[in-house]
Amino acid sequence: MKKNNSLVIMAGGASSRMKKTVDSIELSKSTKEVAKKAHKSLIPLGTSGKPLLHYLLQNAKGAAYTKVYLITALENQDFKDFLSANTYEGLSVYFAIQHIPEGREKPLGTADAILQAMEQFPELQQSQFTLCNGDNLYSEKALSLLREERTTPNAVMSYSRSGFQFDDEKISKFAAMKLDSEGFLTDIIEKPSPSEIDTYRDASGELRLSMNTFSFEGSFIYPFLKACPMNPARGEKELPQAVLNMIAKHPKSMIGIPISEHLPDLTAAQDIQNFEEF
């Protein structure tokens, strides 16, 4: 299996919550215009005016990745313009397109996005790669930990709730995980209800959260992405379900890597103001 030098970034979301809330906060006219039309990872932040994608690529470079695969929608000229104007020496950036099936208005979900990327770039089916969201600023440390050699084929960053600076309402929008006594993933649930969330605390009382930061062995996860069922409520093929199906068939195939640090993100327009120091 090839060494993990590849980072796959999911940057194809509709950013609908961001677009709906952008008029509710004080921002410059130019920033609002970008926030309304471009992906949120391209919104100018803080005094530097650099977008989140810039900092994420910098951290990827610092963590010694050499290849980045950006999963975007077909309409991705803004990403191409950004990369034409900014150079990240040592990083080769490729575009994977998540095509929308005929008869649908929205993409088919995160599992489908990764599947399409792996089919457009078959080398991902035969190597290890790291996966992350395009609207979270993962640290160089977190990205580096997912590149370290391990005996388990797959890994997930296990974020401690106590390390986050988010309120409980925002925490409830994340995915909670259960790990066994050896640290292997046994369960994951998207957006747990208040009655469910306490059942996901570990023996120390810590809540472990998944922020879609995984390291996969391509040949291991691929069949589960391909066979991922549609979520009946949301009408999408979701990555957590593919992971659950994988660990059900192959227990102890995904290890949790514990980390306790804040993870800046861009979900709604209010989050832009949290990047003032950049």
CB atoms within 10 A of CB 85: 7
User: For residue 9, what pLDDT is reported?
Assistant: 97
User: For residue 13, what pLDDT is reported?
Assistant: 66
Give tens-digit pLDDT for 164-213. Answer: 999 888 888 899 999 999 999 999 998 888 888 888 998 889 999 999 99
pLDDT(1) > 60: no
Cβ contact 191:173 at 8 Å:
yes
* pLDDT, average across residues 232-248: 95
Give tens-digit pLDDT for 35-90. Answer: 777 888 999 898 888 999 999 999 999 999 999 999 999 999 999 999 999 989 99
| CATH numbers and ranges of domains, the chain | 2-275 (3.90.550.10)
Cα–Cα distance measured from residue 73 to residue 75, given in angstroms and rounded to the nearest whole number = 5
Q: 149: alpha, beta or left, given left = phi > 0 and alpha = psi -120 to 50?
A: beta
Cα–Cα distance measured from residue 97 to residue 131, given in angstroms and rounded to the nearest whole number = 15
Band (226; pLDDT cuts 50, 70, 90): very high
